[in-house]
A and B are shown apart, each in its own frame.
Chain A
Amino acid sequence: MAVIDRLGESLDGGQGGIILSTVDSLVDWARGKSLWAMPMGTACCAMELIAASFSKFDFDRHGTFPRPDPRHTDVMVVAGTITKKMAPAVKRIYEQMADPKWVIAMGNCAVSGGIFYYDTYSVVRGVDEFLPVDVYIGGCPPRPEALQDAVLQLRQRIATESISPDRRRESSFVLPMPGDISFGSRPGGGEDEGGDAE
């Protein structure tokens, strides 16, 4: 996707609106509807991650597919407790993924340490201590439908991005949102600059 990024940077400041909107829609459609997931499943949430991919819940109809290889995937689903011993491995695999990439923190342990927040000497309290997380899913473990909802919300987020870093886009809703939660314009391209949180 390097050509696209260079094209986007050259169209800085929102110039070339008609070209950008078409290209943006195409790129976001392609990225969002085929989010291959890297299952970084360490503990109990990994069971629900697997269940989400299989016949009853079927992730594949959303275009998401567990592919245990960082080079082939767009989104890393961190499912399970991350310990201090495991953290360097997770970081290394995140770095091996190609841009653009996103992270879903699945389960209470990945969000904040969860049930292992207190009295433990070896658990990293939330994967966002060293990774930039895009979607947090609560639950211990969250239902497979929650994971699918996270992927759909991530798609929503991707739909607001643009190949040009400065441009802001209005997004059309993929799903009806309850109440007055709105995913209106969001700054695009931010998560790629996130890098290390340390």
Chain B
Amino acid sequence: MTADIVRDDMPPSEIAGDEEQLVVNVGPSHPSTHGVCRVVVHLDGETVTKAEPVIGYLHRGIEKMAENRTYLQVVPLTDRLDYVGSMYANWAYCRAVERLAGIRVPERAEYLRAIVCEMQRIASHMMSLGSAAADTGAATMFIYAFDERERIVEAFEELCGARLTYNYVRPGGVSFDVPEGWTDTVLEFCRNHRTALDTMDRLYFGNVIARQRMKGIGVLSAEDAVAWGASGPVARGSGVNWDLRKHDTYSVYPRFDFDVPTGSNGDCYDRARVRLFECYESCRIIEQAIAQMEPGPIKASGMPRLLAPRPGDAYDHIESARGSLGVYLVSDGSVRPYRMKVRSPAFCNLALLPLLAEGHMLSDLVVILGSLDPVFGEVDR
């Protein structure tokens, strides 16, 4: 059995100058629902002088496993990477496979992929906003947000049969076409969702306690965001106007009209607001996609049963709810990938925690961690 979790690198006290610092261990199991993260915090009174995340508690070796699976068998593994957003995790992997093998995906499949990706983005942001709110004590917001997520998950269950790990986007297309009446359900959801977002906005972001707990906390400058490789709402909250759907566009996104919300202060409040406004934009994209979608095939024709792309490597990325999620695949000509690497946005964003938490109080650490929105399936792989 492996060693005890209290290790040698955690001295009980540390003398720094004239002051004694307390080392506190937060996690790996703690009430904040972000997952298994351990943060070793050095405290001077209540102020954090150093916060170091220790990760790897969910490291399952997915990259090694992918080397012994065929290209299609890897798709369920990608579901479990970012488990709050299985649809777009599948999509990032499938884009890399299609780039490597030179597969052209039919248009209806691209529209379906965009629709489910945007719905998944809303679901992921609901999870993120809800759990970040629960960290500050606003449990009602968590329940409201999760209710919205339930509507989306029900729609996905109608579409592909699963509530969480969908295995829906496959190399070459998608696995099922929409059942009858599904698009109407989704459009009705979008209409109701805007009202729900307004309610959540007033309930949580209008609350003076939430503002005090989030404004000015964990400020990230735009230069730091770029230098540390941050992406997604974490970078956009600092004013870095970079969204892969607009600025490095892919699939059918050039045909949609939507805005990219950015913050200005780079604090937790702005990051959370960016996530809220992205949900409105996702509703817009879904409505446009459903209107533009034409009947047609949903799988690429002429695809072999066992994909064996020519030797080489390819990288492709998409804009996930957390940032730029990329998959780098190396092929040696066989039916199994030689190497699969997942460029995980949550991993890169979490590296910012020591920078952001320094100088704040211990209770702000939880809020900052929530605003970075890590999902440990993706961080640890």
B288 within 8 A of A: no
Task: Pick from B30, B84, B164 the residue with the most CB of A within 10 Å.
Answer: B164
Q: Which residue of B lies closest to A67 (CB)?
A: B31
B249 within 8 A of A: no
**A88 B1 Cβ-Cβ under 8 A:** yes
**B164 A88 Cβ-Cβ under 8 A:** no
B263 within 8 A of A: no
**A88 B60 Cβ-Cβ under 8 A:** no
Interface residues on chain B, size class: 35 or more
Tell me whether chain B's interface is mostly helix, strand or loop, or mixed: loop
**A140 B165 Cβ-Cβ under 8 A:** yes
CB within 8 Å of B: which A89-131 residues: 89-90, 92-93, 115-116, 118-123, 130
Q: Which residue of B lies closest to A50 (CB)?
A: B33
Q: How far is the CA of A80 from the CA of B165 in the complex (A)?
A: 13
Q: How far is the CA of A51 from the CA of B150 in the complex (A)?
A: 8
Task: Pick from B127, B153, B163 the residue with the most CB of A within 10 Å.
Answer: B163
Q: Given the complex, which residues of A lie within 8 Å of B57, measured CB to CB?
A: 42, 83, 85-86, 89
**A121 B147 Cβ-Cβ under 8 A:** no
Instruction: Give, as a whole number of angstroms, the nearest-CB distance from B136 to chain A.
Output: 16
Q: Which residue of A lies closest to B56 (CB)?
A: A85
Q: How far is the CA of A21 from the CA of B338 in the complex (A)?
A: 64
**B5 A120 Cβ-Cβ under 8 A:** no
Instruction: Give, as a whole number of angstroms, the nearest-CB distance from B90 to chain A.
Output: 14
B291 within 8 A of A: no
Known pairs A93-B29, A116-B65, A119-B68; A46 contacts B2 (CB<8 A): no
Q: How far is the CA of A90 from the CA of B163 in the complex (A)?
A: 27
Q: How far is the CA of A68 from the CA of B4 in the complex (A)?
A: 21
Q: How far is the CA of A51 from the CA of B146 in the complex (A)?
A: 7
Q: How far is the CA of A174 from the CA of B300 in the complex (A)?
A: 52
**A121 B61 Cβ-Cβ under 8 A:** yes
B176 within 8 A of A: no
Stretch touching chain A among B75-83, B101-109, B316-324: B75-83
Scan A21-56; emit 1 where CB is below 8 A from any B CB, else 0.
000000000000000000011111011101100111
Scan B153-196; emit 1 where CB is below 8 A from any A CB, else 0.
10000000001110000000000000000000000000000000
Q: Given the complex, which residues of A lie within 8 Å of B36, measured CB to CB?
A: 42, 86
Q: How far is the CA of A112 from the CA of B3 in the complex (A)?
A: 23
Q: Given the complex, which residues of B lie within 8 Å of A93, measured CB to CB?
A: 29
**A119 B1 Cβ-Cβ under 8 A:** no
**B80 A43 Cβ-Cβ under 8 A:** yes
Contact residue among A43, A121, A141 (Cβ-Cβ distance under 8 Å from B163):
A141
A84 within 8 A of B: yes
CB within 8 Å of B: which A53-67 residues: 54-56
B58 within 8 A of A: yes
Q: How far is the CA of A66 from the CA of B149 in the complex (A)?
A: 19
Q: How far is the CA of A45 from the CA of B1 in the complex (A)?
A: 25
Contact residue among B3, B61, B146 (Cβ-Cβ distance under 8 Å from A54):
B146
Q: Given the complex, which residues of A lie within 8 Å of B29, measured CB to CB?
A: 40, 68, 89-90, 93
Q: How far is the CA of A186 from the CA of B59 in the complex (A)?
A: 39
B28 within 8 A of A: yes
B143 within 8 A of A: yes
CB within 8 Å of A: which B1-32 residues: 1-5, 28-31
A81 within 8 A of B: yes
**B164 A56 Cβ-Cβ under 8 A:** no
Q: Which residue of B lies closest to A92 (CB)?
A: B5
Q: Given the complex, which residues of A lie within 8 Å of B83, measured CB to CB?
A: 43-44, 47
Known pairs A47-B164, A119-B68; A83 contacts B146 (CB<8 A): no
Q: How far is the CA of A55 from the CA of B143 in the complex (A)?
A: 7
**A115 B76 Cβ-Cβ under 8 A:** yes
Q: A41-B35, A119-B64, A123-B60 known; 5 other A-B pairs, CB under 8 Å?
A: A46-B35, A80-B58, A87-B1, A116-B61, A123-B61
The 6 residue pairs across chains A and B that have the minimum distance between CB atoms: A44-B83, A68-B31, A120-B61, A86-B57, A119-B65, A54-B146
Interface residue ranges, A against B (CB under 8 Å): 40-44, 46-48, 50-51, 54-56, 68-69, 80-81, 83-90, 92-93, 115-116, 118-123, 130, 140-141, 143, 198
